[in-house]
């Protein structure tokens, strides 16, 4: 019997009791799993405080080395108190499990952010890097090296503040000059001195931070290949490329961190003082909409303006980093901003998303006979891939005016029959008007131009009708006040048939509400589908899991078959 099967013999109890502090927790939503651990929301019964519970079956800690490794992780983590470190509240065990009670980071990790957004704007990268560096300065000040810094171990709370987590590979430097010898880390982020077993120290974290910054700016890791062997070879040769469009300060900082000789890398404190971090716009905070959409920067008061399309343009021309220094240029957000009216390549991008989704569905459903699994639906699910935004209500009034909808965060939009759109953000203050060509105009409620008066009245009508007469689909999402950086996805296209209504948002999400009261929300960027059944159960599954394990119900399979047919029809029509 395998380790994984023996774990299933002992289910995690619904009520968890910490005998040391006499605290009782109630098990809540499944958050995911990784390595030996499963994670659940745990609610402290007395205070109603919500935490993340990292739960490890003792059956999986089969030898002394694994037990010591877990003990070391807990000992290091419990000694840490910093705003950019995931807080450990307590830990305890019972006869079957070890429980680690952690700060809950509802916005998941920066890996999900990367998959949804790819390359970020420079202000966003500064914002995240500032917090990562502060957290690592704190660790190094305590003579702790993390040794596994990567996007998947950088978590985000409701305010999009970075929290460094997972100290399973962390180590304490016991004396000046000590070099660790353990082979550890994650392939895309591992430093060359670890691979060559030369001994390593604080500099491996600087290397990993360089890989993180590169990934955030460029949209993919610097040494990523299709094979582990080639990735390791490129790391050992320190062979990476920089986009020719990258500003000189960012390129300089990356080249300093990604030095093959660890002694030539700057310290984390020195990184904080570099030009890229000190110059250019860095927002004090970011709105949750940044998890799925490029933010606005039109309200940044600076001299030079460039169009928004330059921020997340197509793949830039690449040059080998060692060939020459990049030519200095003005950063898109270093000394400039975007204008009040911007034009994005929305239609082309949405078509590309649709094409990507269709190919994914072809790969998933190419077998004529579907395989159905006996595994529990929760075990197959991956909440980290759950969409942040979906359509919770809609109304078709296209015979006169257009198609209205409400998002799960209470944002409201209308796609009018003339192909223009109006969007009212969740704070019900900010209004975005999108013209036929994709040009975006930003206004405040009560201050819209006269030519939008009729459309504003229609938006208010749609909003009032949906509030009074329609039920919300899916779980409610906590509404957070948006600010002047927020841009939320809006409806790109919709199609209604006798089977249901299909809607595509500009962040790539395709949602289909079926007449049998089931729904699917598909994200090509996460390669995942969220299935809402007739009992309103809301679970998300990655395509890779469904391909490997099979489908847990026929309803999801049939819904995806319909999505495959429809996406194929749309692509054929466009062609």
Element spanning 145, H or E? strand 144-145
Decide if 159 contacts 103 (C-beta within 8 A). no
Dmax (CA) for the chain in angstroms is 76
Choose among 127, 128, 145: nearest CA to 136: 145
Rounded CA-CA distance 463/470 in Å is: 10
Burial class (CB in 10 A: 0-12, 13-18, 19+), 324: exposed
Look up residue 61 and give its two tokens.
């800690």
Distance between CA 323 and CA 326 in Å, rounded?
9
Beta strands (DSSP E) in 358-462 are 391-397, 402-407, 412-416, 421-424, 430-434, 439-444
CA-wise closest residue to 7 among 53, 67, 61:
61
400 marked ligand binding residue? no
- The verdict on whether 148 is a catalytic residue reads yes
Q: Are 479 and 158 in contact (CB under 8 A)?
A: no
Residues in contact with 1: Cβ distance below 8 Å, sequence separation at least 6, in sequence order: none
Contact at 8 Å (CB) between 520 and 529?
A: yes
Instruction: Report how far residue 138's alpha carbon sits from residue 202's, in angstroms, rounded to the nearest whole number.
Output: 12
d(CA 575, CA 573): 5
Residue environment code for 37-66, b if the CB has 16+ CB neighbours within 10 A, otherwise e: bbbbbbbbeeeeeebbbbbbbbbbbeeeee
Set 148, 166, 205, 483: catalytic member: 148
Alpha-carbon Rg for the chain, nearest whole angstrom, is: 25
Neighbours of 24 (CB within 10 A): 14
Task: Give the CB-side neighbour count of residue 425, counting CA atoms within 13 A.
Answer: 22
Which of 410, 394, 388 is CA-nearest to residue 530?
Answer: 388
Nearest alpha-carbon partner for 507 in 341, 353, 308, 357: 353
Q: If DSSP states are collapsed to H, E and C, what string results for 272-284?
A: HCCHHHHCCCCCC
- The pair of structure tokens assigned to 125 is 């990268």
Q: How far apart are CA 378 and CA 159, in angstroms?
A: 28
Reported as type and span, the H/E element at residue 355 is helix 346-365
DSSP code string of 67-82 = HHHHHHHHHHHHT---
* CA distance linking residue 512 with residue 537, whole number of Å: 16
Pseudo-torsion of CA 60, 64, 68, 74, nearest 10°?
A: 30
Calpha distance 241→18 (Å, rounded): 51
Q: Which residues pair with 497 in a beta bridge?
A: none
Q: How far apart are the first and last CA of the chain?
A: 53
Residues involved in catalysis = 148
Binding-site residue numbers for ATP are 54
Which residues contribute to the annotated binding site? 54
């Amino acid at each position: 019997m395998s380790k994984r099967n023996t774990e299933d013999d002992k289910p995690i109890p619904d009520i968890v009791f910490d005998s040391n502090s006499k605290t009782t927790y109630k098990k809540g939503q499944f958050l995911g799993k990784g390595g030996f651990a499963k994670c659940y929301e745990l609610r402290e019964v007395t205070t109603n405080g919500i935490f993340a519970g990292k739960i490890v079956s003792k059956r999986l800690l089969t030898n002394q080395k694994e037990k010591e490794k877990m003990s070391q992780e807990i000992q290091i983590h419990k000694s840490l108190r910093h705003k950019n470190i995931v807080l450990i509240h307590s830990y305890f065990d019972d006869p079957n499990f070890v429980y680690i009670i952690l700060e809950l980071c509802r916005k998941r990790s920066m890996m999900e952010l990367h998959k949804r957004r790819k390359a970020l704007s420079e202000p966003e990268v500064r914002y995240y890097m500032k917090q990562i560096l502060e957290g690592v300065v704190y660790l190094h000040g305590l003579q702790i090296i993390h040794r596994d810094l990567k996007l998947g171990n950088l978590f985000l709370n409701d305010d999009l503040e970075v929290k460094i987590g997972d100290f399973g590979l962390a180590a304490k430097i016991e004396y000046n000059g000590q070099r660790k010898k353990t082979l550890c880390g994650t392939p895309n982020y591992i430093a060359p001195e670890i691979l060559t077993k030369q001994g390593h120290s604080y500099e491996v974290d600087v290397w990993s931070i360089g890989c993180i910054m590169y990934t955030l700016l460029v949209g993919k890791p610097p040494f990523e290949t299709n094979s582990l062997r080639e990735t390791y070879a490129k790391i050992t040769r320190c062979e990476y490329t920089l986009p020719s469009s990258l500003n000189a300060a960012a390129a300089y900082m990356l080249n300093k961190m990604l030095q093959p000789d660890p002694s030539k890398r700057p310290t984390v404190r020195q990184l904080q003082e570099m030009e890229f971090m000190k110059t250019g716009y860095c927002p004090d905070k970011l709105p949750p909409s940044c998890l799925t959409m490029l933010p606005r920067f039109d309200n940044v008061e600076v001299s030079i303006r460039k169009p928004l399309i330059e921020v997340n343009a197509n793949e830039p021309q690449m040059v080998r980093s060692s060939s020459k220094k990049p030519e200095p240029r003005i950063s898109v957000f270093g000394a400039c901003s975007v204008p009040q009216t911007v034009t994005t390549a929305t239609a082309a991008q949405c078509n590309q998303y649709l094409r990507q989704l269709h190919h994914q569905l072809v790969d998933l459903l190419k077998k004529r006979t579907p395989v159905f699994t006996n595994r529990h639906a929760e075990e197959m699910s991956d909440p980290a891939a759950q969409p942040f935004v979906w359509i919770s209500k809609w109304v078709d009034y296209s015979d006169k005016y257009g198609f209205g909808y409400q998002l799960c965060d209470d944002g409201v939009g209308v796609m009018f029959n003339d192909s223009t759109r109006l969007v009212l953000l969740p704070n019900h203050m900010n209004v975005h008007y999108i013209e036929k060509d994709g040009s975006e105009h930003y206004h405040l409620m009560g201050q819209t131009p006269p030519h939008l008066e009729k459309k504003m009245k229609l938006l208010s009508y749609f909003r009032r009708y949906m509030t009074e007469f329609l039920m919300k689909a899916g779980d409610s999402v906590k509404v957070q006040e948006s600010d002047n950086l927020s841009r939320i996805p809006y409806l790109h296209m919709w199609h209604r048939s006798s089977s249901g209504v299909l809607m595509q948002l500009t962040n790539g999400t395709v949602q289909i509400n079926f007449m049998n009261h089931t729904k699917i929300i598909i994200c090509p960027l996460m390669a995942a589908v969220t299935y809402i059944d007739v009992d309103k159960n809301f679970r998300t599954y990655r395509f890779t899991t469904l391909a490997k394990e099979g489908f847990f119900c026929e309803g999801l399979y049939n819904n995806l078959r319909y999505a495959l047919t429809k996406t194929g029809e749309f692509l054929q029509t466009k062609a």
